[in-house]
Amino acid sequence: MAQLARLGRRGRRGQRSLNPAAPLQPTAEQAARWRPWMGRALQLAALGQGRTSPNPMVGCVVLDASGQLVGEGFHAQAGLPHAEVGALRQAGARAQGGTAIVTLEPCCHHGRTPPCSQALLAAGMGRVVVAMVDPDPRVAGQGLAQLQAAGVEVIAGVCGAEARQLNRAFIHRVTTGRPLGLLKWAMSLDGRTALPNGSSQWISGPEARAWVHHQRGQVDAVIVGGGTVRADDPLLTSRGLGRREPLRVVLSRSLELPPQRQLWDQDLAPSLVVHGPEASAQGRQQLDQLGVERLELDPCTPLTVLEVLAQRGCNQVLWECGPTLAAEAIKQGCVQQLAAVIAPKLLGGLAARTPLGDLGLVDVNEAQQWDGQGLERLGPDWLWQLGLPPVDELC
């Protein structure tokens, strides 16, 4: 199949079929010409970090027919105008015959807002340059097909890798039906998360804790188990470092939870307790009296919890749980990224806690290989971020 990036004005003479699963590659000339403008569009898109779910982050730059910048926009929040609309409003009549550079294929369906493909056509755009096709089945190449059928020149695949990285959480949710999972823990140099007596505050320093608070402000939900609620009484907020507070999720099959916990304060951030059918009547009544939302799932597992969160529009979740739940989340494919904070301390103790419970491995060669994605200093500590190798390439 001919690549969309090479169609150019050929698309005006006959629409070609689109395959959103095939990576798009612009010609070298097209990539060189449009990369700087797409870089600016990606910068704009990133301004929506942490506020657009369930939508992706999108940025748009509009040039007039002579190539001069006349409009910019980004998707600031779900329910608000999309990036293309904001940029076109700024450009006004100057958009006629110009070029729109967009980080994601323009939508072509009616949701909370009208289709962006139609807005581009109404503005009289002569060319649309996109970084990647939208993997959402409601779009999946149809937006570009509409533009081509109307005689608009389409160039796709410019800065595609950067666009996929920016919206990796959105892509993961729409292609798997689950949010992207980030598992974080803090441990000593010898791999301990607590002393044998359970003491764990604080292994990491204030800089590392601030990094975690910032991450909470970027994700849609933070997940812990009942054991963490009982032992640590966590707050699980961004401490004001995020643009919004995440949904605080507790996975507790039995609902053996203390009545006095910070998570039950709904004025700070919303909480959701997910439990199994075996949950006690006392535990159910206690949460109902406290005004805490609860949800029964059968089975109540990390996987079923993520499926529910995806239906609620969560693109990314942060696992801040103990070793048993963390191991279950990994085994069920609920974790795609790791963030390990390593403190230059030695805790020792054969009975000391470690970040993960039993993964069920019997041979070291069965262990999953993770790719290092970055190593940085956070005060006295080190932050090591890793991710699973990509299974396939999305356009």
Helix or strand or coil: residue 385?
Answer: strand
SS3 content of the chain, % helix, strand, coil (to 5): 30, 20, 50
The answer for residues whose C-beta is within 8 angstroms of residue 277's C-beta and 6 or more apart is 296, 298, 300
Q: How far is CA 338 from CA 167, 182, 241, 314, 335, in A?
A: 17, 6, 21, 18, 8
Cα separation, 270 vs 288, whole angstroms: 14
Residues across the chain? 395
CA-closest candidate to residue 191, choices 203, 174, 181, 207: 203
Catalytic hit among 72, 84, 320, 328: 84
Residue ranges of E strands in 139-214: 153-156, 180-188
Strand partners, 194: 353
Give the amino acid at 225. G
Burial (Cβ within 10 Å: 0-12, 13-18, ≥19) of residue 365:
exposed
Cα separation, 314 vs 36, whole angstroms: 31
84 tagged catalytic: yes
Q: How far apart are the first and last CA of the chain?
A: 14
E strand or H helix that includes residue 207: helix 206-218
On whether the CB atoms of residues 248 and 304 are closer than 8 A, the answer is: no
CA-closest candidate to residue 241, choices 221, 218, 208: 218
The answer for residues whose C-beta is within 8 angstroms of residue 63's C-beta and 6 or more apart is 37, 69, 70, 98, 99, 100, 101
Active site residues: 84
